[in-house]
Structure 1
Amino acid sequence: MIFDPTMYCSCTKTAERDGDEPLTLDGAGLWVGVLSRGSCLLEGCEKPGQSGDVLLGAAPLTLVPRSDCHLVAVRLTGYCVDGFLVRLGEARWADGASCPGAAELLARLQGSSAPAMAYALLCAVGKADETTRPLPALVAAAVEAIRQNYMALYGVEELSEQLRVTKSHLVRAFKQALGVPPGKYLTGVRIEAVKTLLLADEYNLDTIAGLTGFSGANYLCRVFKREVGVSPAAWRAAAAPPPVVPKLPPRSNEMFV
């Protein structure tokens, strides 16, 4: 294979803990986890994790539950992961509200190590520090409005009307705080949602477009190709788990003439 996507991002290990026993996550790479129940301490981190929080950090990570907990985690490796770790710094708990697709992607990676799915998870947690940033009130309100209503939001004009500010003022404040205009951010949130739905085979492109705020399948395909670099169909095919190949019975040592 000339191009091996696992060099850039792949899932190399999974872990799950249900109960109140300590857990140590080891090995090279980035551990991403979701705490779906309880409260848990992360050694070296002052803030305890609460239900819904996302775990991010390089091994070794020692987790000590404060109550009955349920945690699902995966270890990611590859060149993209290495770059992510450089910017991440210390291991931490992040607010799961900033990456709503992470929990479902983690659940799917428990049964499949598809590189595209691992990369989608890395992209989902790439914004996991947004809620920890001291955002201006207007920008924080805009981010919340986009994430809560991206499927029905017409565009930046409608968003600015909802927030009772001019479009130019909203764009200027948003870009200054987050580095991208609100329209670009809205598109990114929609693309995240599209990727999550593409992982479910029961949704066709027309349905996905309707669920994520795109006017139709053709427009969805154009925007997806522009933002991701491949078509939705190609991304879905790459993210699908490999087919199960039945093992052949062992060859007999007998020789027939």
Structure 2
Amino acid sequence: MIFDPEIYCTAAETAELDGTAPLALAGDGLWVGVLSRGACLLDGVDRPGQSGDILLGPAPLVLTPQSDCHLLAVRLTGHCTDAYLLQLGAARWADGAACPGAAELIAQLCGAQTAPMAYALLCAAAKADETARPLPPLVAEAVAAIRQNYMALYGVEELSEQLGVTKSHLVRVFKQEMGVPPGKYMTNVRIEAVKTLLLTDEYNLDMIAGLTGFSGANYLCRVFKREVGLSPAAWRTAAAPLPAVPKLPPRSQEMYV
């Protein structure tokens, strides 16, 4: 089999914001962008991005400039990107100082969409995310609980009971910090886990539903279609690795007529 790096990480699309008009980003995968000028709001996130910040997050993303802005972004897709999204959770602005080469990588990808540069950008984005400001203890505990036990958590009410706080307090604090309520964050984590399992043929939808916290295959399909825009079966087909190229015989075995 010939190794195809684009299965694991590739640049699927680029986008640019230049001026004061809002920009909406869509599509599967991870958007990585560099805000090189101005201040910009990211829908659902209280803190505006400042010049030098890195945009990280899955679509849909809505960017609203607060001043004259410039942002260049790339949408990454592939198996490695899916694994990173499972850990990332909600969209956010990250510290661009942690990956000074991100802007150059994005500029190169806008001209030549090659898998090695896409993977390098994903690694740089991961470094930026690692240096994000620490989360408040309650939110950090909630994020850890969701990531570690998303398959067994019944919902936000059970999560708040485990953390010893009221549901309303958890929802308010979590959304203020993460940009989305804990229920939405939990759904995002589950969907990314579903995608990971869909990448193999070992599990049917009933098994995947049980492994990711959904009550059944039908409910999983409804939520997946709502969040991703495709059915699990369609997404699995679209994400399937390319077929192996048959190995050609040695030239010494070629037949001539």
Q: TM-score, normalising length from structure 2?
A: 0.54
Tell me whether 1:84 sits opposite 2:32 in the alignment.
Answer: yes
> Residues 12 and 217 (structure 1 numbering): CA distance in 2 closer, same or farther, change over 3 Å?
closer
Q: Distance in 2 between matches of 1:221 and 1:151?
A: 16
Distance of 1:87 and 1:209 partners within structure 2 = 38
How high is the sequence identity, in percent, across the aligned residues? 67
Q: CA deviation at 1:252?
A: 6.4
Map of 1:123 onto structure 2: 85
The residue aligned with 1:243 is: 243
**Other structure's SS at 1:86 match:** strand
Unaligned runs of 5+ in 1: 1-9, 14-73, 92-114
Aligned pairs (5 A) from 1:64-79: 76-79=10-13
| Residue aligned with 1:84, SS | strand
Structure 2 counterpart of 1:120, one-letter code = D
CA distance in structure 1 between the partners assigned to 2:88 and 2:163 by the alignment: 26
What do the CA deviations read for 1:128-166 (whole angstroms, capped 9, x no partner)?
527843211111111111111100000001011111111
Q: Is the 8 A contact 2:224 2:230 kept in 1?
A: yes
Corresponding residue number in structure 2 for 1:139 = 139
Query: Amino acid of the residue matched to residue 77 of structure 1?
Result: A
Per-residue CA deviations over 1:80-99 (Å, capped at 9, x if unaligned) read: 689504269699xxxxxxxx
Summarize the alignment of residues 147-186 of structure 1 with structure 2, pairs less than 5 Å apart.
Answer: 147-186=147-186
Give 1:203 shift: 0.5
In structure 2, C-alpha distance between the alignment counterparts of 1:228 and 1:83, rounded to whole Å: 15
RMSD (CA atoms): 3.3
Which of the pair has the greater relative contact order for Cα pairs under 8 Å at 6+ separation? 2
- Give 5+ residue unaligned stretches, structure 2: 15-28, 37-51, 55-76, 90-125
Rounded to whole Å, the distance in 1 between the matches of 2:191 and 2:32 is 20
Contact kept, 8 Å, 1:116 with 1:238, in 2: the verdict is no
The Cα of 1:236 is off from its aligned counterpart by: 1.0
Task: Give the paired residue count.
Answer: 162
Distance 1:131 1:181, change over 3 A: farther
**Counterpart of 1:222 in structure 2: which amino acid?**
R
